[in-house]
Structure 1
């Protein structure tokens, strides 16, 4: 029997469910699901994309302390692994990393009804370098 998530994780409930994803500039669709790990200690994100040139991924999200900060551990079908710092405040979902290859940032604005997330993804060309727009993504809640 699954228990309720820890209080520090409760704000992530807005993500729980199934989402259709679209990348308008690439005419690409996919699906993303968020569900609690049995026991409630971590949120699991699974993403699939309809085009084989894009990776499928699984991520594990957990709290890093009582200050509302999280980490997302990302793994994809190419064998890529990354760790992102994550925040979810005032309906803005932010992921960031300044990794050894390049920095990345995801900023998703969650609609008032919680059924749409409009996200902007950015990346840099070198660690510590400036970030530039990479692509936009829209999440639309299915269930």
Structure 2
């Protein structure tokens, strides 16, 4: 399977990352790797505190326009679909879902080895988003 150019731009994420949520003293790990047959990026995240879910996501292009979506699943049994945009070293993952809207805004460093992210959430669809927490991804190993 051939990857679309929209999916190929996610190569910057490939590898293993340490994750931290500084204000909550939460650490974890995230890996990004291509599905063996290509076409989809697999994201696996683990957190070292039981109050936070582990997750797996599949990111790929949808439709003829090549727009990116993330299909997210976690250890609580939660499943959600997010839109994904990577432009000018800013990774945007967002949804305006029926339960509560969310947005991840990650600024990728110039060398590609750090992502400073701001996570936001709302209380109702179409409503304003508020800061939830900040997160830092530090690359441990490229693949």
TM-score calculated relative to the size of structure 2: 0.94
- What residue is the counterpart of 1:92 in the other structure? 90
- Residue equivalent to 2:39: 41
The verdict on how the C-alpha distance between 1:15 and 1:45 changes in structure 2, with shifts beyond 3 A counting, is: same
Give the 3-state SS of the residue equivalent to 1:9 in structure 2. Answer: helix
Cα distance in 1, alignment partners of residues 51 and 127 from structure 2: 27
Whether the 8 Å CA contact 2:114–2:139 is kept in 1: the answer is yes
State the match for 2:27 in structure 1. Answer: 29
Superposition CA RMSD, Å: 1.4
Aligned length: 141
Paired residue for 2:9? Answer: 11
Q: Unmatched 5+ residue regions in structure 2? A: none
Compute the displacement of 1:9 (Å): 1.6
- The residue matched to 2:126 in structure 1 has which SS? coil
TM-score computed with the length of structure 1 as normaliser: 0.94
